[in-house]
Amino acid sequence: MTVLVTGGRGRVATALLGLLASAGIDARAGSKDPAGLSPPAGTATVRCDLSDPATFDTALRGAESVFLYADPTHAAAFAERARAAGVEHVVLLSSSSVLAPDAAGNAIAASHLMAERALTAAAGAGGFEVTLLRPGAFATNALQWAPALRSGHGPALPYPHAHSDPIHERDVAEAALAVLTEPRLRGSSYLLTGPESLDFTEQLAVVAGATGHPAPYTAVAPETWKESTAAHIPEAFADALLSHWASHDGRPVPLTGTVEELTGHPARAFATWVADHAKAFRP
């Protein structure tokens, strides 16, 4: 089996490439800039820019399975070219946000929905099988706090008590490996969560405990936060994040045992993720 792993620079893709190499499975790391990749020894690289359909055919040639990031820009074209290339199985890294009642009107959820629908339409037309991985909040989201914490200041939080279910990127990668290698797991959708629902103040407390340094925060009004992030977060995405946090303010997130069902072990705790990344938060 040959697996094309798109988004080869991403944290989940990087972890998955390592797992595939350890399992002796032929993998190909795809990226818009393959020269900048550092995949495991023996892993080929290929240009695969999900915003440029001209790169799809070469990247897909000879691949039986694909691990695909949910970029909706040309998802339909990717699905068409994958089917033409004889791909048998696509694992899409989607998001649990697609399950929200307002998903179609939420910029973040809508982009994942578009990618899901493009692929499932291709599968329904007699193409490849599609498996959907829908993780909740990535633990790596906490890295956005790192610059402020390293400088001794805390992040500005519009909803300090908004809950999330931080999941370790390695758990997502191991779930992807399972569905890529176990035919019985194909063709389903999987809601992946971390093992605990923590609000942002609780997550910062874990960071403080792991690093031995204070992890303060400043509570700000939603509009103040939105204005402060306007330079790097599009307005529609900022609104989507604020809406999501508001809906989980003081409300624990439902958890699943899907990671354990797929991988054979419980999902890693947020404290484990922080220990793995503690250096990023230290002054």
* Residue 279 DSSP one-character state: G
pLDDT band at 125 (very low <50, low <70, confident <90, very high): confident
Same-domain pairing of 118 and 222: no
> Tokens representing 135?
């993780």
- Provide the angle, in degrees to the nearest 10, between the axes of the packed helices 107-124 and 235-247: 100
Same-domain pairing of 108 and 35: yes
Q: What is the pLDDT of residues 10-44, one digit of tens each?
A: 999 999 999 999 999 999 999 999 999 999 999 99
Contact between 173 and 12 (Cβ < 8 Å): yes
Average pLDDT, the chain: 96
Query: Which of 85, 114, 135 is the last residue before a domain boundary?
Result: 135
Contact between 227 and 220 (Cβ < 8 Å): no
Same-domain pairing of 141 and 87: no
For residue 124, pLDDT beyond 90: no
DSSP string over 151-182: TT---EES-TTBEE--B-HHHHHHHHHHHHH-
Q: What is the pLDDT of residue 10?
A: 95
Is 54 exposed, middle or buried, given 0-12, 13-18 or 19+ CB atoms closer than 10 A? exposed
Q: How many domains does the chain have?
A: 2
CA separation for the pair 68, 97 (Å, rounded): 17
Same-domain pairing of 114 and 162: no
Asked whether residue 174 is domain-assigned, the answer is no
> Tokens representing 20?
């595939």
Q: What is the pLDDT of residues 128-137, one digit of tens each?
A: 999 999 999 9
Same-domain pairing of 199 and 82: no
Q: What is the pLDDT of residues 230-261, one digit of tens each?
A: 999 999 999 999 999 999 999 999 999 999 99
Q: What is the pLDDT of residues 188-229, one digit of tens each?
A: 999 999 999 999 999 999 999 999 999 999 999 999 999 999
- Of all helices (H) and strands (E), which one includes residue 5? strand 2-5
Measured at the CA of 43, the angle between CA 37 and CA 49, to 5 degrees, comes to 50
